[in-house]
Structure 1
Amino acid sequence: MLHLAFHSRFNRRVQINHPNIWSFIKLLQGEENRFHHTYVQFMADLGTRSKQAKTIAIQRRMDKLGERYCDGAINAMEYLDGLSFVVAKGKK
């Protein structure tokens, strides 16, 4: 799962299919700094930030929708509609 999270984050940060070499190097340096910072926190046993109650509630709703879809209780369109409502809730 971390592998997918890294690639997703990396693709969002690049934002284009073929960046020039200098912007790519700068991006890699930023990722190295981020990793180093996380590593130092881990080695100091500081852990990560705890999730907020709102984030936990959203994740539970998404997990429940996924379970219902896997169990066959809802079809793919209902699953996607449900996810869109969860994500869009509170956005204006």
Structure 2
Amino acid sequence: MRASQTVTQTKHMVVGVEGGLGAWNFESGLTWSQNSIDERYTGGYATNQGCNDILANPDFDAFALGQKAIRASAIRRLRAYRIDHDARHRHARFA
């Protein structure tokens, strides 16, 4: 089962002013936004290189996964290549 933990944080601020000066009316505004995302793969993911290594192994037969010994061996190999770390960070600002 694949699992990940995603944490997002958003900040948004809007200020505006309107008024009049003599015969003139005015309106003005300013918007500021910031968004960040941090994602951590916590289980069930394998690296591309790990999957490619397993598929390139002549002892691995994807069609024989019903056999316990072959299935256990493939699972051990996949676990050796699993990802359990921060996956992506993205921070954006808009003004």
Q: TM-score range by the shorter chain?
A: under 0.3
Select the structure with the greater relative contact order (CA < 8 A; seq sep ≥ 6).
2
Which structure's residues are more often helix, by fraction?
1
Of structures 1 and 2, the larger Rg is shown by: 2
Which structure's residues are more often strand, by fraction?
2
TM-score by length of 2: 0.27
TM-score by length of 1: 0.27
